[in-house]
Chains A and B, each alone.
Chain A
Amino acid sequence: MRFGIVVFPGTWSDGDCHHVIHSILGHTADYLWYRDRPDLTADYDCIVLPGGFSYGDYLRAGAIARFSPVMSSVADFAASGGAVIGICNGFQVLCEAGLLPGVLMRNNHIQYRCQWTNLRVERTDTAFTRACAPGQVLDVPISHGEGNYFADEGTLARLEDEGRVVLRYTTPTGEPAPDANPNGSAHNIAGISNRDGNVVGMMPHPERCCEEIMGGCDGRLIFESAVRWRMSQSG
């Protein structure tokens, strides 16, 4: 299994994702430079857009990164059915690039938040939730200042109708309570997918919880799902 990890200037989860994919899970992982425009479909099984502050998030999170040459390659890869995950800033880039609907606004309390959250898995047939059980509650940390998911009512209704809300912030027992929402996201949304389930964006950081010594291993399920999904594609 070969993963590509996109690096924009200002990306900082690239090394963390590489550590998990390569050193923990034993797969191949390459860095993909933002100024390049390779054909990803031939060489890669999964593309990761990691967290960070691409271009400092100075204009709006992800707004400049989406114009990078590498994003054309990512769009082509996604259109061909390839598995693409955007984590944190990567989710913001996917939304800005139009590969996922909606936007990530500033947290409603206007502060940055780094803390553990509980995520209920709403759908288990996407490329990144296959290894999870329906309704399973994962412990995954967040670290962002702009994770407040917003879309117009029609888009939100469509996402819900089509089952494209993949992860929701909940209490430890799986209740999507207002108190469990760390940033004001509409419908407690933590992650969504495109219609085919091959492109997923999520604000929490699964790469930060793939070893017991880091406080938990639930993040592994996200990466292991990509492996299962790839096997099901080739099978």
Chain B
Amino acid sequence: MNIIVCVKQVLDPEIPPAKFKIDPETKQVIPPPGVPPVISVYDERAVEAACRLKDTHKGNITVISMGSEKAADVIKHAISMGADDGFVLSDAAFENLDSFGIAYVLSKAIEKIGGYDLVLCGRQAADWGAGQVGSILAEILGIPIVTLACDIEAADKNIKVKRIVSDGYEVLEAPLPSLVTVSSEIGLPRLPAGMRLMIARKKQIPVWTAQDIGAEASQLGTDNAHTEITGLSVPDRKTECEIITGATSSEAAVNLAVKLNELK
């Protein structure tokens, strides 16, 4: 089974909010110094889903990431989990693309790789979280899509996917090739270990430009953008926190219980 996984490198969402700074002028986030970017959490689950399928059915996992050349780090992370190959898609023309632009670039890279049975994406990115690249990508590639997967099983020419819904899940059957977006309910990603880490470290990650994948400049200009971000702000959420005290910790606990009991 040949699987292509699309991953994104994002700001680490596990930072304290105090480190989160934006530039309202450029509508961009200012990367906090000393905090390395990470693989987007849902994309890591998509890599995990791919690895599980490979565990059972053999095959090949190729990971692609559009971003700066540093995106090689998240591809190496995916390889350390069990992916085989990876490509970074980087070009000045790829900067600040909207969901349609991103999906277009990914589709060109996927067409160049070719021969795939399954394309996996995270359900949304942990940063801008537009939640639509996978769906647009499937439309461009002209393949079926299942969103919000919490389990994927493969049979001969089919996959069976559990799709998470608010009160349970649906079971869907899709032909191959298809695209599936993966949700965190699929479970924890494996920890890279031993040999895999070494393989990942040594792996060369080629960088593909717009020209390499045949992406046309006419599709990438800002004139072609479907959406535009016109403002970015951080809502003011600071509350007055009343610190409950007491002569002892127990007394503080009693005071808190009484206080909270009066609230309702």
Report whether chain A binds chain B.
no
- Interface, chain B (partner A; CB < 8 A): none
- Interface, chain A (partner B; CB < 8 A): none
